[in-house]
Amino acid sequence: MRLIGLLGGMSWESSAEYYRLANELVRERVGGLASARLLLHSVDFAEVERLQAEDRWDEAGVLLAAAAAGLEAGGAELIVLCTNTMHKVAPAIEEAVSIPLLHIGDVTAHAVRAAGLRRVGLLATAYTMEEGFLRERLAGHGLTVLVPDADDRALVHRVIYDELCLGVVTEESRQAYREVIARLVAAGAEGVVLGCTEIELLVDQSDSHVPVFPTTRLHVEAAVTAALAGD
């Protein structure tokens, strides 16, 4: 089993899900007392969030690239960046290491295409919904990506940073997300990408009449498959 390097802490709430899911999936696939071989570098999210808010993405890239290099030095054989938003600096990370970075956009796109869909809505942080780094990655796989309107984007973003990243999950926000999903479906979305790793703490398939694509679970499933392949 290959050693997976988890680059997390953005937020630690979602990174805890990565850790839990990886171990559960390995146990399911291997059996017995098997668990995942993991090496975790968890950053201080307050520092990363400050760089995001101040549009200092190059500095964020340097920070995460150094962390990824540390994971490789520690023996990691592939890197999993436990966040959608920070895939904005994925090129900086890839330049800093010689091992593969398993890109969350590619994993998600493959799942959408496997489901036979081409037009999906995207729920994520404002950075991810409004900038092109993830939408264009998905589009590169032949997908059309819809995002909510400005008010809905602000709502989705606020819930992520003010609630989910702090471990706060409320029924009020769950209902608000359901309504955003319904509006995306009314606009033509055949499915919905949960494009922020914390969103899966709030909504799942039961909250949508169209297929949802939980990027955290999809990312972990792909990482475990790669780790168990051992090549």
Residue 183: which residues within 8 A CB-CB, separation 6 or more? 148, 149, 152
Within the chain, strands assigned E span 4-8, 38-42, 78-81, 119-123, 144-146, 191-194, 212-214
196 is an active site residue: yes
Residue 163: which residues within 8 A CB-CB, separation 6 or more? 169, 170, 173
**Considering 82, 85, 196, 197, which one is annotated as catalytic?**
196
In the chain, the amino acid numbered 152 is D
Q: What span, in angstroms and rounded, lies between the C-alpha atoms of 229 and 129? A: 33
Helix (H, G, I), strand (E, B) or coil at 218: helix
Structure tokens at 218: 């999809």
Q: What span, in angstroms and rounded, lies between the C-alpha atoms of 73 and 76? A: 7
83 is an active site residue: yes
Q: What span, in angstroms and rounded, lies between the C-alpha atoms of 191 and 171? A: 22
**Considering 83, 85, 128, 215, which one is annotated as catalytic?**
83
Residue 101: which residues within 8 A CB-CB, separation 6 or more? 68, 78, 79, 81, 90, 93, 94
Catalytic residues: 83, 196
